[in-house]
Amino acid sequence: MTPSAPAPSPDDLAALRRRYQHERERRVRPDGAGQYLTTDAEFGYYAADPYVGETAERAPFHDTVDVAVVGGGFGGILAGAHLRDHGVERIRIIDTAGDFGGTWYWNRYPGIHCDIESHVYLPMLDETGYVPEWKYSPGEEIRRHAIRIAEKYDLYADALLSTTVTDLTWDDDTEHWLVTTDRGDVFSARYVITATGTLTEPKLPGIPGIQDFRGHTFHTSRWDYSYTGGTPDGGMTGLRDKRVGIVGTGATGVQVVPMLAADTAHLYVFQRTPTTVDVRANRRTTAADVGADRAGWARERRDNFLRIVSGETAEEDLVADGWTASAELLEKLLPSFRRRGDRETFEAAYEVADAVKMNAVRERVRQTVTDPATAEILAPWYRYACKRPTFSDNYYPAFNRSNVTLVDTADSHGIERVTENGVVVDGIEYELDCLVFATGFSVGISGIRSGKLPVRGRRGTLLMDEWKQHGTRTLHGFTSNGFPNLIHMGPQQNASSVNFTHILDEQACHAAALIAAAETAHALVEPSRAAEGAWLETLAQDAPDHEWFHAECTPGYYNQEGRGRTNGAGAYPHGAYAFHELLRHWRTESIDEALRARKSTGDRAPRPELVTR
């Protein structure tokens, strides 16, 4: 249990504010996001696929499919499944990975589990009849579920795996997209869906000398079991006599550290910012525990979770875990973010609630870690929502082991230097046989926003040039004028949630509905400039103000490494639950009306989204 903590006095709050500011200043770096290296060119080794052997030669494809889906993670898989439900036949999912699963294909590190309850995280449980065995699934169960969906909806048939899309070009004459890949494929597709993910490309800290290390090294998202031995469940016999260093104590590091602690001769944990580690209480679950005997149980549970974590009211809390408990904090923040009512009162109430929560988290560290100096380094000094919270019952106890050393790198803004033999912090060299980077992913770098996948619409216009010049312009985050039959799935101008797969499922459902409607209406999926403009106005009207909050936070990918978050592409201001309602309503009003009108009158007038040919 998280220990309870008394309400703080005004003096306590003032002291906390000072401490938070001091800790933030210790960590903010002038180079911001520029401190990281991408895993390409000389660092490409860190991103190579360790799960496939030699990629088998195959003949390139030059055919035509109905829909090309870029990305075989849950986004792409769900798009494929919903398209199948609409009767679409030739669906070609393309992914760099050797199989379906996206992040769950790549991340197989020891200890990997989902940090969202499996019964709301795993999509299509109603449709597949699968009931997860644990409250928080191990990664392998999730990866297998991705494959289960891909098999059920026959998505392997046209898939191109171990293949990277390198170019998407619209051809006005044929009204098809030309899809080019790194395996010599050049095929055409009537529609393209981009489901390229947001946290996919592993990043490395740009530590001086990183390329000099002579020991073994890899990133957690490409775990090298050929070196460590063992499986995600542990048993890494290859590390029994090894001195291992791990850099990074985010959501990944928290899961990996206890496993490495158990299997290494000595583990050095190089920490820059401590994470908040709350109670996990993972346990086996039965179908009866989650009411899985009723049709629609999973959808109901998932909606209930989304309502609560989006700050909406719900009659009961079906999941009842650390995420839903922390929604109490969000309820206090949202009115302020949404500029509602007396903001000062809400902010003051929030500050007290947050202090109680964080004092309890810090107390948990002190009660678990026996060495007071180590406990103090592990205590997080920032507000709860500044970084993605984590949950573990074996992370803090790992620091009580005699073979584990915690090294605080905050004062030197991270590791000072890497040498041939190890890692230097504050002038002390820690000799290592193996250095593991749990340093996360470049945010939003994958796909079209990185420029790595050029997308050329009408008249060869590059999507990213267009967005750089005129700002991101979409309707609902899915479609853009000048780029017909292209549907973006991802974080552009829509809504997000900690439960990514729920968001992806709703997006996939919408994308498939657009394509099905366009097929029936013999239309192109393309919004008018006016429809895009109206959507931008909707986003701007109630644009939330959370910059003040992020500007006071410790650096991380939530706030562009300490620079405060600019609401760049913009998100729907009323949250994910309301956004899904809006999409459902729009589909009924706009698509259905368009189809009805077309059926009865043959009306060729353009609709806001479906432009008739």
Query: From residue 377 to residue 396, what is the string marking binding to ligand NDP with x (rule CB under 6 A)?
Result: -----------x--------
Contact set for ligand NDP, span 112-171 (CB under 6 A): 113-116
Closer to ligand NDP by Cβ: residue 101 or 253: 253
CA dist 426 and 429 (Å) reads: 9
Q: Which residue has the tokens 């899904």?
A: 580
Q: Which stretch binds ligand NDP (CB under 6 A): 85-93, 173-181, 296-304, 409-417?
A: 409-417
Q: How far is the CB of 109 from ligand NDP (least distance, A)?
A: 9
E strand intervals along 252-357: 266-271, 277-278
CA dist 170 and 185 (Å) reads: 16
Give the closest residue to 448 by CA, choosing from 493, 495, 490, 499: 490
- Residue 102 is classified by DSSP as T
N-term to C-term CA, the chain? 61
CA dist 364 and 3 (Å) reads: 6
Residue 101 contacts ligand NDP per CB under 6 A:
no
Contacting ligand NDP (CB under 6 A), which of 253, 380, 447, 573?
253
Q: Which residue has the tokens 């996360």?
A: 440
Closer to ligand NDP by Cβ: residue 147 or 251: 251
Q: Which stretch binds ligand NDP (CB under 6 A): 199-207, 371-379, 545-553, 577-585?
A: 199-207
Contact of 402 with 194, CB cutoff 8 Å: no
What is the pairing mode between strands 404-408 and 266-271?
Answer: parallel
Q: Tell me the two tokens of residue 260.
A: 């490495």
Residue 418 contacts ligand NDP per CB under 6 A:
no
Q: Which stretch binds ligand NDP (CB under 6 A): 78-86, 87-95, 110-118, 143-151?
A: 110-118
Closer to ligand NDP by Cβ: residue 245 or 457: 245
Residue 324 contacts ligand NDP per CB under 6 A:
no
Closer to ligand NDP by Cβ: residue 311 or 562: 562
Q: Tell me the two tokens of residue 321.
A: 């875990």
How many CB atoms are closer than 10 A to CB 595? 17
Give the closest residue to 490 by CA, choosing from 91, 142, 200: 200
CA dist 102 and 143 (Å) reads: 9
Q: How far is the CB of 107 from ligand NDP (least distance, A)?
A: 7
Distances (CA, A) of 562 to 30, 332, 566, 577: 9, 23, 11, 29
CA dist 491 and 359 (Å) reads: 33
Residue 417 contacts ligand NDP per CB under 6 A:
no
Q: How far is the CB of 103 from ligand NDP (least distance, A)?
A: 8
How many CB atoms are closer than 10 A to CB 276? 25
Closer to ligand NDP by Cβ: residue 199 or 595: 199
Q: How far is the CB of 490 from ligand NDP (least distance, A)?
A: 14
Q: Tell me the two tokens of residue 590.
A: 């706009």
Q: Number of residues in contact with ligand NDP, rule: CB under 6 A? A: 29
- Burial classification of residue 594, based on how many CB atoms lie within 10 Å of its CB (0-12 exposed, 13-18 middle, 19 or more buried): buried
Residue 439 contacts ligand NDP per CB under 6 A:
yes
Contacting ligand NDP (CB under 6 A), which of 76, 111, 477, 556?
556
User: What's the angle, vertex CA 9, arms to CA 5 and CA 11, rounded to 5?
Assistant: 125
Q: How far is the CB of 256 from ligand NDP (least distance, A)?
A: 9
Q: How far is the CB of 26 from ligand NDP (least distance, A)?
A: 10
Q: Which stretch binds ligand NDP (CB under 6 A): 125-133, 222-230, 436-444, 512-520?
A: 436-444
Which phi and psi (to 5°) does residue 432 adopt? -135, 150
Closer to ligand NDP by Cβ: residue 111 or 335: 111
Task: Say whether 331 sits in a helix, a strand or coil.
Answer: helix
Which phi and psi (to 5°) does residue 158 adopt? -110, 5
Residue 480 contacts ligand NDP per CB under 6 A:
no
Q: Which stretch binds ligand NDP (CB under 6 A): 65-73, 247-255, 303-311, 452-460?
A: 247-255
Closer to ligand NDP by Cβ: residue 8 or 556: 556
Q: Is the dihedral of CA 400, 403, 404, 408 positive or negative?
A: positive
Residue 207 contacts ligand NDP per CB under 6 A:
yes
Q: Which stretch binds ligand NDP (CB under 6 A): 1-9, 311-319, 432-440, 594-602?
A: 432-440
Residue 198 contacts ligand NDP per CB under 6 A:
no
Q: How far is the CB of 560 from ligand NDP (least distance, A)?
A: 12
Q: Name 123's Cβ contacts closer than 8 Å, sequence gap at least 6.
A: 74, 78, 149, 501, 502, 504, 505
Q: Which stretch binds ligand NDP (CB under 6 A): 241-249, 286-294, 371-379, 538-546?
A: 241-249
Indicate the residue type of 601.
T
E strand intervals along 392-440: 404-408, 417-418, 422-425, 428-431, 434-437
Residue 563 contacts ligand NDP per CB under 6 A:
no
Closer to ligand NDP by Cβ: residue 24 or 473: 24
Q: Which stretch binds ligand NDP (CB under 6 A): 60-68, 80-88, 189-197, 553-561?
A: 553-561
CA dist 250 and 270 (Å) reads: 12
Q: Which stretch binds ligand NDP (CB under 6 A): 143-151, 309-317, 555-563, 600-608?
A: 555-563
Residue 199 contacts ligand NDP per CB under 6 A:
yes
The DSSP line for 357-392 is HHHHHHHHHHHH-SSHHHHHHH---S-GGGS--EE-
Contact of 37 with 206, CB cutoff 8 Å: yes
Q: How far is the CB of 139 from ligand NDP (least distance, A)?
A: 8
- Residue 320 is classified by DSSP as -
Query: From residue 264 to residue 303, what is the string marking binding to ligand NDP with x (rule CB under 6 A)?
Result: ------x-xx------------------------------
Residue 248 contacts ligand NDP per CB under 6 A:
yes
Contacting ligand NDP (CB under 6 A), which of 5, 147, 186, 251?
251
E strand intervals along 499-603: 523-525
Contact set for ligand NDP, span 441-460 (CB under 6 A): 441
Contacting ligand NDP (CB under 6 A), which of 111, 205, 238, 457?
205
Q: Which stretches of the chain bind ligand NDP, using CB under 6 A?
A: 27, 113-116, 199, 205, 207, 247-253, 270, 272-273, 388, 409, 414-415, 438-441, 555-557
